[in-house]
């Protein structure tokens, strides 16, 4: 339960990077079956600014969304966008344009190169200004296959930031906000378990799991969950950051994850890739690094759909599938009509939320294993 309502779990949380799911209104996001939004602190801090959002009544009023909102710390974007645009992170070496110290992280804006600094306290202040229901402490998200020496150093720093964040949060506590802790540790079992124990021992309202969407294989992600989930307290909600493909969803639910966010369904929609229960193409290995979701996806831009009268998914009851054909959506994309992005994005988001509804119902009636087998065959 949050100040803006309950979240029915397990739940997929769409990412509204800049306080919007691109091309959709908040009413349309709600109509898709979405109950909670994920918004990126980094982007709103840069534009229009967290103080502006605060003066305008906070995120809920700003984006016309009455449901729960979760914001991240901004740390992931600091490291991913900063390293891509202005520098690189390789093991022990962090270039000066993304400089990490025990005090916090100095970085340059991905858009204009201006200099900024996030400390644990600064990150929480920004999120408190934004007014989200659930906020996250600053952490360092290390890149995939980082050397263990640096992963350990980074984890120790993240843990200290977590303690500082709790102390700061408690001095400025907002009864309408909950602070989750973040488990890190890369792909190293001992580091992950140590992090799970430490974060679980601290008085966070919930637990987030980070660092599992930066290049790891699906097998590695499952290993991380196998290591840490048994350690996490059962009475606190668990959120996994940045994962949400079809097969991943079943894995996360099976492992006991309550909520998870991902940009993939909506980003795919803007690229003309539509989710469908109809299986297409050759099935990939469940343990490979390849994306199994491609098995449930059509690229509507392909010539084969030029005269296809079928809806994106014949079994889907969303308004897009009730009213429009694959041929029409292909035409919109080819003509670069803006309506293409709205229709495809809404369908994909509805498709995922409808799947989550089926998953929740299957858990209630004991048919989850059969539903999983129907979808991914294992």
Q: Are 36 and 70 in contact (CB under 8 A)?
A: yes
Picking from 67, 44, 65, the residue whose alpha carbon sits closest to that of residue 54 is 44
One DSSP character per residue, 128-187 reads HHHT-SEE------PPTT--HHHHHHHHHHHHHHHHHHHHHHHHT--TT-EEEEEE--TT
State how beta strands 98-100 and 206-209 pair: unpaired
Catalytic one of 50, 133, 247, 261: 261
Starting at the earlier edge strand, list the strands of the sheet with 98-100: 98-100, 105-108, 115-118
| 72 catalytically annotated | yes
Query: Which helix (H) or strand (E) segment is 34 a member of?
Result: none
Residues 169 and 124: their CA atoms lie apart, in Å, by 7
Catalytic one of 50, 72, 133, 313: 72
CB neighbours of residue 22 within 10 Å = 16
Q: Are 207 and 200 in contact (CB under 8 A)?
A: yes
Q: Are 293 and 315 in contact (CB under 8 A)?
A: no
Half-sphere exposure of 197 (CA within 13 A, CB side): 7
Q: Are 107 and 98 in contact (CB under 8 A)?
A: yes
Catalytic residue numbers, as ranges: 72, 261
């Amino acid at each position: 339960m949050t100040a803006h309502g309950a979240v029915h779990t397990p739940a997929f949380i769409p990412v509204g990077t800049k306080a919007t799911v691109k091309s959709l209104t908040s009413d349309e996001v709600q109509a898709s079956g979405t109950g909670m939004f994920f918004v990126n602190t980094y982007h709103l801090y840069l534009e229009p600014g967290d103080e502006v959002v605060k003066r305008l009544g906070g995120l809920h009023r700003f984006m016309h969304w009455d449901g729960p909102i979760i914001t991240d710390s901004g740390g992931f974007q600091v490291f991913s966008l900063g390293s891509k645009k202005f520098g690189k992170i390789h093991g022990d070496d962090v270039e000066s344009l993304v400089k990490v110290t025990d005090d916090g992280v100095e970085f340059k804006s991905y858009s204009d190169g201006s200099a900024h600094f996030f400390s644990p306290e600064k990150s929480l202040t920004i999120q408190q200004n934004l007014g989200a229901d659930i906020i996250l402490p600053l952490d360092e998200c290390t890149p995939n296959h980082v050397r263990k020496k640096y992963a350990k150093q980074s984890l120790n720093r993240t843990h200290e930031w977590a303690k500082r964040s709790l102390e700061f949060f408690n001095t400025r506590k907002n009864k309408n906000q909950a602070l989750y802790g973040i488990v890190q540790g890369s792909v190293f079992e001992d580091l992950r378990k140590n992090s799970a124990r430490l974060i679980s021992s601290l008085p966070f309202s919930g637990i987030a799991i980070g660092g599992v969407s930066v290049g790891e294989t699906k097998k590695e992600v499952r290993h991380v969950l196998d290591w840490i989930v048994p350690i996490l307290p059962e009475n606190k909600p668990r959120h996994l950051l940045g994962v949400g493909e079809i097969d991943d969803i079943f894995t996360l639910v099976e492992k006991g994850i309550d909520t998870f966010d991902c940009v993939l369904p909506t980003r795919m929609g803007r690229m003309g890739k539509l989710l469908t229960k109809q299986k297409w193409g050759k099935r990939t290995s469940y343990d490979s690094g390849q994306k199994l979701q491609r098995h449930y996806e059509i690229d509507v831009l392909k010539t084969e759909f030029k005269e296809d009268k079928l809806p994106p998914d014949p079994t889907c009851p969303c308004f897009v599938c009730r009213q429009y054909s694959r041929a029409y959506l292909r035409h919109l994309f080819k003509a670069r009509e803006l309506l293409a992005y709205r229709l495809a994005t809404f369908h994909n988001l509805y498709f995922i939320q409808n799947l989550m509804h089926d998953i929740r119902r299957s858990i209630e009636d004991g048919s989850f294993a059969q539903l999983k087998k129907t979808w991914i065959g294992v």
